[in-house]
Amino acid sequence: MSLVRLDRSGGVVTLNLARPETRNALNSEMIAELTQAFRELSTDDSIRVLILAADGQTFCAGADANWMKSQKGVSETENLADAQKIFDLFRLVYEFPHPIIARVQGGAYGGGAGLMCCSDIVVMTDDAQTAFSEVRLGVVPATISTFVLRKIGEGRARELFLTGRRITAQECLNLGLATEVVSADKLDQAVIRWADELLKASPTAQMVTKELLREVPQLTLDQAREFTPLRIARQRVSAEGQEGLAALLEKRNPQWSMPQ
């Protein structure tokens, strides 16, 4: 892979967008490489936390303008296939089994904002911006809409989708798009702090919790009665469930506190 880069430190893996000369704009090649990376990483049991980062001054400028323009010359079938590929990428990020921290500097627009919304924790620099700017380009925020609406809800998304205006980091914090906003010189420190917080939790409990976050809002009460008690019942008797209880009673740190 030439457009993304992986770095590993213990159980923490950093996946970098590595196309800074285009402000990490998404084209078919980068989408393919990100998709491959997320598919492979999702089966890696040694991962505890994934940091989604980017080289250069901008996290992600959204879709590459030249790539989008070239779509005019392809068939509707090919255009549809490309759109489905980027949806599949967002879904892989959204359904990734381990916690994801998005490290956002500069800006995250269009598809870049979609990657933010699919992440669990988002740390932004105070001068960063985002936007769902598709309507200002004559297109629509279609593939990201599923994930943005789950993140902030229809009420907040209406104005942002329809105006396409830029949103400051502080407003992202207020809207629930960002978890924390820091100065640029404290960005890495903040990301490390969040990774350390995530490493304190049970890996299997985090995986089940991510499943709950995805599925429970879509369930009826009857469905939830079947779904949620089963998850807690299984986790209680699991090895990590018993280890967590033993550690509490023995007043010690559980064994998963540091990555293996």
Of these residues, 76, 78, 134, 250, which one is catalytic? 134
Res 1: pLDDT: 79
Structural domains present in the chain: 4-199 (3.90.226.10), 203-257 (1.10.12.10)
Which 3 state secondary structure label does DSSP give 75?
Answer: coil
DSSP codes of every residue in 185-252 = GGHHHHHHHHHHHHHTS-HHHHHHHHHHHHHGGG--HHHHHHHHHHHHHHHHHSHHHHHHHHHHHHTS
Query: Is 134 a catalytic site residue?
Result: yes
User: pLDDT (tens digit, 0 to 9) for every residue of the chain, 260 residues total?
Assistant: 799 999 999 999 999 999 999 999 999 999 999 999 999 999 998 999 999 999 999 999 998 888 777 777 788 888 899 999 999 999 999 999 999 999 999 999 999 999 999 999 999 999 999 999 999 999 999 999 999 999 999 999 999 999 999 999 999 999 999 999 999 999 999 999 999 999 999 999 999 999 999 999 999 999 999 999 999 999 999 999 999 999 999 999 999 854 44
Res 159: pLDDT: 97
Res 257: pLDDT: 53
